[in-house]
């Protein structure tokens, strides 16, 4: 089973990212679940969302404590949240940042493998809004292959309707621009 934790801020689409990832996994014939973790937070407050993907039925319903992969939609969270918490040694942290993996490692002392992309710039240029959720899905797919971009197309169309194509374009551009260590 693969477990993923998304870190974002309320209103940025972290919960939507988790749901789209799970739906894409289901499109591929896998079992998946997605769920948020937040209380009475308001727009802009830190939130987490979780995804599990497996070839077998998933029976656990608890929070994800040791994610294989972590996706950080908002780089300002790196200063206030330990996004590396619980990630095993072979895990990957996928970050929306203008920094290179080496610069990010040097400034924050990450010990896990890193994947980086400037999702904020891509989102503004392609989507015309600073919402990085679908953009970061491209980075997740590039770094992990947990789902395919083809499997994501249907869930994007269903969720976003007339703007699905722009979201797919942002996702594909992020896929192309993501730098994955090692």
Nearest to 92, CA basis, from 102, 79, 82, 83: 83
Pairing of strands 92-96, 2-9: unpaired
Range of the domain at 75: 2-180
Res 40: pLDDT: 58
Res 83: pLDDT: 97
Res 44: pLDDT: 78
- Chain center to CA of 80: 18
Res 12: pLDDT: 87
Number of domains in the chain: 1
**Angle 156-158-163 (CA atoms, 0-180°, nearest 5)?**
60
Res 182: pLDDT: 79
**Angle 73-157-76 (CA atoms, 0-180°, nearest 5)?**
5
Instruction: Output the six-digit token pair for 5.
Output: 């934790």
Pairing of strands 113-117, 46-54: unpaired
End-to-end CA distance of the chain: 23
Pairing of strands 92-96, 113-117: parallel
pLDDT in tens, 56-90: 999 998 889 999 999 999 999 999 999 999 999 99
Do the Cβ atoms of 55 and 178 come closer than 8 Å?
Answer: no
Per-residue pLDDT of the chain (182 residues), as tens digits, is: 999 999 999 888 899 999 999 999 999 999 999 999 866 556 778 899 999 999 999 999 888 999 999 999 999 999 999 999 999 999 999 999 999 999 999 999 999 999 999 999 999 999 999 999 999 999 999 999 899 999 999 999 999 999 999 999 999 999 999 999 97
Model pTM score: 0.95
Res 61: pLDDT: 86
Give the contacts of 3 (CB within 8 A, at least 6 positions apart). 50, 51, 52, 64, 66, 67, 68, 69
- CATH number at 137 reads 3.40.920.10
**Angle 126-128-129 (CA atoms, 0-180°, nearest 5)?**
115
């Amino acid at each position: 089973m693969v477990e993923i934790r998304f870190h974002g801020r309320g209103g940025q689409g972290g919960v939507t990212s988790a749901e789209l990832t799970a739906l894409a996994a289901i499109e591929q014939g896998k079992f998946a679940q997605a769920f948020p973790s937040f209380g009475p937070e308001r727009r802009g407050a830190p939130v987490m969302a979780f995804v599990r993907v497996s070839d077998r039925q998933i029976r656990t319903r608890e929070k994800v404590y040791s994610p294989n992969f972590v996706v950080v939609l908002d780089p300002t969270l790196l200063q206030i949240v330990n996004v590396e918490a619980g990630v095993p040694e072979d895990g990957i942290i996928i970050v929306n940042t203008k920094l290179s993996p080496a610069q990010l490692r040097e400034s924050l002392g990450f010990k896990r493998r890193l994947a980086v992309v400037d999702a904020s710039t891509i989102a503004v240029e392609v989507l015309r809004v600073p919402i990085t959720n679908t953009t970061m899905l491209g980075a997740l797919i590039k770094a992990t292959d947990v789902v395919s971009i083809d499997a994501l197309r249907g869930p994007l169309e269903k969720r976003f309707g007339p703007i699905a194509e722009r979201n797919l374009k942002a996702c594909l551009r992020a896929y192309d621009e993501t730098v994955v260590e090692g």
